[in-house]
Structure formats: C-alpha cells, structure tokens
Amino acid sequence: MLESPPMEAIRDFIEWISTDTINATATLAPYGLLGLAGLYVLWLLIGYLRVSQLSIREESMARETLALPRADDGRVEAPRGVPYCPVDGLQYPAGARFCTRCEADLVVACANCGTSIQAADESCYHCGTRATMALPALH
C-alpha cells in the first residue's frame, strides 16, 4: 500500500519525536540536573560567605555602636550625617549600611538638609547632596 506524501511526513515526524527527542532528552537531562545542583551549591556557598562576612563586620561594628537617646514620642534622636538604626536606636560608624542586631536598613539624616534617607543612598533625594554622611573629625 502506497502512502501519500502528507501521511509519510506525519509518520516520519512521529518516528522522529519517539526516537530522536527522547535520545536528546536522555543525553541532556543529566547535564541539566548537574547544572541545577551546581547552582544550589553556589547559592549555599554565597550564603555562607555572606553570613561569615556579616559576623566579622558585626564583631568590629559591635564595638563601634552607640545607643542613641529617644524623644518622648519614641523617635531616635541622631545627629545629622550619622547612620543609625531606627528600630534599635543604635548609632553606627560612617559607611555602615544595615543594623548588625536586627538587620534593618540604617537611616541617616542628610548632613546638608536633615532629610531622613537610607544610609545606602548615594545622594539625598531632597537636596541632591552627594555627601550625605558627616565628615569624620580630624585629629
């Protein structure tokens, strides 16, 4: 029995699907699983390195933190240009980005206009001052 060209093309396509794609999948699947396992190990490694660096920074910054006074309404009263944690009320040295106790983002009052901004921000959104931190005193 002679098959028509469309039927022959359909049969060839079904044979291709049943043999070649399964072979390709069987070949590539282990590499995909290895790649996912590699990404997981990399994620664990980066997480470990981050935590180990946090503990190093925490030890050095724990000595440099200072408890700030609070106002009657509970707000933290910090000087301009000094990073502080609004949750814990701790003052941190210049360059700190987050609280070592509660991991909250640190806040700093702009040294120029006093607007509260994130310590990680490069400039004040209110006045545009790029140096939002107070300059350290020279000895």
SS3 at position 114? coil
Asked if residue 130 has pLDDT above 70, the reply is yes
Asked if residue 136 has pLDDT above 60, the reply is no
Q: How confident is the model at residue 56 (pLDDT cuts 50, 70, 90)?
A: low
Query: Given this model, what pLDDT does residue 38 score?
Result: 95
How far is it, in rounded angstroms, from Cα 8 to Cα 62? 77
Cα distances (angstroms) measured from residue 28 to each of 33, 37, 55, 81, 117: 9, 14, 41, 56, 50
The pTM score is 0.49
Average the pLDDT over 2-31 and give the result.
82
How far is it, in rounded angstroms, from Cα 64 to Cα 51? 20
Asked if residue 37 has pLDDT above 90, the reply is yes
